[in-house]
A and B are shown apart, each in its own frame.
Chain A
Amino acid sequence: MIYLDHHAAAPTSELVRQAMADASAIAWANPSSTHRAGQASRQLLEKARALVGQSIGAAPADVVLTGGGTEACNLGVRGLAKGRRKIITTAVEHPAVAESVRHLGRDGREVLAMPVLAGRPPAPGELAPLLSDDALVALHWVNHETGTLFPVHDYAQLCRAHGARLFVDATQALGKVPIDVASLEADAVAFAAQKIGGPAGAGACWVRRGIELDTVLAGGSQERGRRPGTLDTLSMVGFGAAASSIGRRLDQQTTIAALRDRLESGLLALGAVPNAVEPRTTTVCNVSFPGWEGAILVAALDLEGVCVSTGAACSSGLQQPSVVIRAMYPDEQWRAGSAVRISLGIETTDQDIELATLAFQRVLSRSQGQKLNQI
């Protein structure tokens, strides 16, 4: 199996698996319990929190651990919205952010979604006129489907200058670009363990000190009253272990870039049309194949032992035309239906790329010039 879907989930490393195996006999206990069993679990949890904080340049006390990336995004977006009348976002956000914003819109707030036409993020100059001191800006650092880098540092300075609040979804940025929340000047930033080789049930929302965050869930007063419910210590141990090797991930980016570029030029030679523009992360190649439905291409490649995706995975296993690509290319509807996302990670090898390119070649040669749904 050639795994090229690292933007969906990065494989766990031996280090992560070992850390979780070692912790499993202790981590079952409730970390909020007073007794020694609870204390042992609490100790593991706090160690994990420190490792996560370290990987993003944050003090442990400012890291709210959550049950995954979507929860972290909900907490950040909806938690910061108190007293904000205007929500500014982009048209290509992950559903965790897009739906959180939509939810706020239903409460009567004004919602502005900045276009990302032809894959180009809004220039800071496009954001500036929209800002006001009752605005919340909620957007991602790195797009999950195209790897597009958004100039969040520039956005942050503008937000600060206008008194607007800023939430950054850094889910796909972690491990791909260096992150230092202390210098980012955002108000809340969301992360997910799954994208750096940790378990899916662990995430984090960094919150600027002094910011009062509305809770999203109703319940106990865990996480300093910001995230109720018992955290899964075991998942957090995995998150901590994965975060501890962030440096190694970042060091590999040049190697990954070379592999990605080789793959991409191979696919372009097979007739692929690129969907992403620079600057973008080194980890992903998003292209459309005319005459193919992305979902069918993904299944055909899976039968050849190559794992890729059309974009955001959906629980039903049903792959939909990409909302992101549709928003980027509204005048070229075919692109969204024909898009595939091939995402690489630190485990990807030269041979993987070579075999994957051959698999694409085999599959694409099967249906020359035929169009689906024209029956």
Chain B
Amino acid sequence: MTEPKRILVAMSGGVDSSVAAALLHEAGYDLIGVTLHLWDAEGAQQVGRCCAPEDRDDARRTCEHLGVPHYVLDQRDAFRKHVVDPFVTDYLAGRTPIPCVSCNRTVKLTHLADLAERFGASHIATGHYARLDRSFDGRLRLLRGFDADKDQSYFLFGLPQSTLERVVFPLGELTKPEVRKAGRRLGVPNADKPDSQELCFVPDGRVGDFVGRQGRESKPGRILDSDGTVLGHHQGVANFTRGQRRGLGLGGGGARYVLRIVPRTDDVVVGQEKDLYDRELVAKDAHWVADRPAEPFEGEIRIRYRHRGAVGDITPTRDGFEVRFAEPQRAITPGQAAVVYRGDEVIGGGFIA
């Protein structure tokens, strides 16, 4: 990173981005607050819904408090095209997508980097819990945030070096309690606002219903056991993810879990928990933060955001990589990101096939 002059701060209206702005302001930077309007929030009563007018108001109030300009920009078309539509398509194909990765790569950071240029700003800042560090060869390294519970480096593996060069993560070395404390110290108006949960555009977490509201109903199908015996029927594959136990509607017998979703037939195959464990995964569409590693190597792999990470051997392939874990992992789920770490450093990531 060259020394930032004017910084564009991406402000969702949440605590993290507000405090990020306040900290940069305290450090004396010239700031521009930008709130992207990505989606029209559904359900006026829903707490934590996405891009709600009250979130825009919170972002504006923070900027007023800091005395920095604030703009709301409409990115609904891009968000639908790059994030929501692929999300729905993935669910209907039986995968469990992780839209935050493509959102960060397209609508958010890459777009904001372009915006920053147009605004005459040298850098962009976000409230992500992640860190950047310059390595000896001049490349930037993407590192975990200090707060192990909040670390968001998992979502950022897709960013190209050209974007990383322009990014600042002011919260990378702070914990969430420290962020709230800083917010209160700096008089940030929404310092005590609750954290947002789930996916920003599906605040109630009911993905099946959301997919239906997008006018792309998932088709009903059969629920089978591993032998192909029909155990029941379901209302659409978008309601299921690998490892899921609830909502199958199968009476009697022991606990059963979703083992896999068969895309073409829309069958959901269920079985026992022990059948959810695998030692291997294949990841596609990989992005390496620096260069694509030439040789197989050992690293730590996170297979979902809330996964603690497990040791395994990583073998890069032409457009992805293969992993062999030291210990079998529960519910390796197609569509989720597999992100490879060495210590605190994100080496790269891809999408589980």
Which A residues are within 8 Å of any B CB, using their own CB?
A: 292-293, 295-297, 299-300, 302-304, 316-320, 362-363, 366-367, 370, 372-373, 375
B74's partner among A297, A303, A318, A370 (CB-CB below 8 A) is A318
Q: With an 8 A cutoff between CB atoms, is B275 at the interface?
A: no
* B 106-121 to A, binary, CB cutoff 8 A, 1 in contact else 0: 1100110011011110
**Contact, CB under 8 Å: A300 / B56:** no
Q: With an 8 A cutoff between CB atoms, is B29 at the interface?
A: no
**Given A299-B73, A302-B69, A375-B106, residue A366 in contact with residue B120 (CB < 8 A):** yes
Q: With an 8 A cutoff between CB atoms, is B53 at the interface?
A: yes
**Contact, CB under 8 Å: B37 / A303:** no
Which residues of chain B in 72-94 are interfacial with respect to chain A, using CB atoms and an 8 Å cutoff? 72-74, 77-78, 82
**Given A296-B115, A375-B106, residue A303 in contact with residue B82 (CB < 8 A):** no
Give the shortest distance, in Å, between B74 (CB) and chain A (any CB): 5
A300's partner among B74, B82, B111, B118 (CB-CB below 8 A) is B118
What's the A-B contact tally at a CB cutoff of 8 Å?
A: 61
Inside 8 A of A367's CB, which chain B residues have their CB?
114, 117-118
Which residues of chain B in 21-76 are interfacial with respect to chain A, using CB atoms and an 8 Å cutoff? 32, 34, 37, 53, 56, 60, 69, 71-74
Give the shortest distance, in Å, between A1 (CB) and chain B (any CB): 12
Inside 8 A of B118's CB, which chain A residues have their CB?
292, 296-297, 300, 363, 366-367
Inside 8 A of B53's CB, which chain A residues have their CB?
316
Q: Compute how far the CA of A291 lies from the CA of B69 in the bound complex, rounded to whole angstroms.
A: 24
**Contact, CB under 8 Å: A303 / B56:** no
| Known A296-B119, A316-B53, A375-B82; 16 more pairs at CB < 8 Å | A295-B71, A296-B115, A299-B73, A300-B119, A300-B120, A302-B69, A316-B56, A317-B60, A317-B71, A318-B37, A319-B73, A320-B74, A362-B120, A366-B120, A370-B114, A373-B77
A363's partner among B56, B69, B120 (CB-CB below 8 A) is B120
Inside 8 A of B71's CB, which chain A residues have their CB?
295, 299, 302, 317
Q: Compute how far the CA of A249 lies from the CA of B107 in the bound complex, rounded to whole angstroms.
A: 46
**Contact, CB under 8 Å: A295 / B106:** no
Inside 8 A of B34's CB, which chain A residues have their CB?
299
**Given A363-B120, A367-B117, residue A316 in contact with residue B82 (CB < 8 A):** no
Inside 8 A of A295's CB, which chain B residues have their CB?
71, 73-74
Q: Is the interface of A mostly helix, strand, loop or mixed?
A: loop
Inside 8 A of B69's CB, which chain A residues have their CB?
302-303
Closest A residue to B34 using CB positions: A299
**Contact, CB under 8 Å: B117 / A303:** no
Inside 8 A of A303's CB, which chain B residues have their CB?
32, 69, 119-120
Q: Compute how far the CA of A363 lies from the CA of B107 in the bound complex, rounded to whole angstroms.
A: 22
Q: Compute how far the CA of A297 lies from the CA of B32 in the bound complex, rounded to whole angstroms.
A: 14
Inside 8 A of B119's CB, which chain A residues have their CB?
296, 299-300, 303
Most B CB within 10 A of own CB, among A299, A304, A366: A299
Q: Compute how far the CA of A366 lies from the CA of B121 in the bound complex, rounded to whole angstroms.
A: 10
List 24 interface pairs A-B (beta carbons < 8 Å), by A numbering. A292-B118, A295-B71, A296-B73, A297-B118, A299-B71, A299-B73, A300-B119, A302-B69, A303-B32, A316-B37, A316-B72, A317-B72, A318-B37, A318-B73, A319-B74, A320-B74, A363-B120, A366-B118, A367-B114, A367-B117, A373-B78, A373-B111, A375-B82, A375-B107
Q: Compute how far the CA of A373 lies from the CA of B343 in the bound complex, rounded to whole angstroms.
A: 35
Closest A residue to B6 using CB positions: A303
Closest A residue to B105 using CB positions: A375
Inside 8 A of B37's CB, which chain A residues have their CB?
316, 318
Give the shortest distance, in Å, between A155 (CB) and chain B (any CB): 35
Inside 8 A of B115's CB, which chain A residues have their CB?
296
Inside 8 A of B107's CB, which chain A residues have their CB?
375
Inside 8 A of A370's CB, which chain B residues have their CB?
114, 117
Give the shortest distance, in Å, between A326 (CB) and chain B (any CB): 14
Inside 8 A of B73's CB, which chain A residues have their CB?
293, 295-296, 299, 318-319
Instruction: Please give me the 6 A-B residue pairs with the lowest Cβ-Cβ distance, nearest first.
Output: A299-B71, A375-B106, A317-B72, A367-B118, A318-B72, A373-B78
Inside 8 A of B74's CB, which chain A residues have their CB?
295, 318-320
Q: Compute how far the CA of A362 lies from the CA of B119 in the bound complex, rounded to whole angstroms.
A: 10
Q: Compute how far the CA of A363 lies from the CA of B71 in the bound complex, rounded to whole angstroms.
A: 16
Inside 8 A of B77's CB, which chain A residues have their CB?
373
Closest A residue to B115 using CB positions: A296
B114's partner among A320, A362, A363, A372 (CB-CB below 8 A) is A372
**Contact, CB under 8 Å: A375 / B72:** no
Q: Compute how far the CA of A236 lies from the CA of B148 in the bound complex, rounded to whole angstroms.
A: 61
A372's partner among B56, B72, B111 (CB-CB below 8 A) is B111
Closest A residue to B77 using CB positions: A373
Give the shortest distance, in Å, between B117 (CB) and chain A (any CB): 6
Give the shortest distance, in Å, between B122 (CB) and chain A (any CB): 12
Closest B residue to A364 using CB positions: B118
Q: Compute how far the CA of A304 lies from the CA of B120 in the bound complex, rounded to whole angstroms.
A: 9
Closest A residue to B53 using CB positions: A316
Inside 8 A of A296's CB, which chain B residues have their CB?
73, 115, 118-119
Inside 8 A of B110's CB, which chain A residues have their CB?
375
Give the shortest distance, in Å, between B110 (CB) and chain A (any CB): 5
Q: Compute how far the CA of A293 lies from the CA of B56 in the bound complex, rounded to whole angstroms.
A: 20
Closest B residue to A321 using CB positions: B74
Q: Compute how far the CA of A299 lies from the CA of B351 in the bound complex, rounded to whole angstroms.
A: 37
Q: Compute how far the CA of A292 lies from the CA of B117 in the bound complex, rounded to whole angstroms.
A: 12
Give the shortest distance, in Å, between A373 (CB) and chain B (any CB): 5
Inside 8 A of B56's CB, which chain A residues have their CB?
316-317
Closest B residue to A295 using CB positions: B73
Inside 8 A of A320's CB, which chain B residues have their CB?
74
Closest B residue to A317 using CB positions: B72
Closest B residue to A292 using CB positions: B118
Give the shortest distance, in Å, between B112 (CB) and chain A (any CB): 11
Inside 8 A of A362's CB, which chain B residues have their CB?
120
* B 279-304 to A, binary, CB cutoff 8 A, 1 in contact else 0: 00000000000000000000000000
Inside 8 A of A299's CB, which chain B residues have their CB?
34, 71, 73, 119
Inside 8 A of B111's CB, which chain A residues have their CB?
372-373, 375
Inside 8 A of B120's CB, which chain A residues have their CB?
300, 303-304, 362-363, 366
Give the shortest distance, in Å, between B80 (CB) and chain A (any CB): 11
Most B CB within 10 A of own CB, among A297, A316, A362: A316
Give the shortest distance, in Å, between A309 (CB) and chain B (any CB): 13
Give the shortest distance, in Å, between B104 (CB) and chain A (any CB): 12
Q: Compute how far the CA of A370 lies from the CA of B69 in the bound complex, rounded to whole angstroms.
A: 25
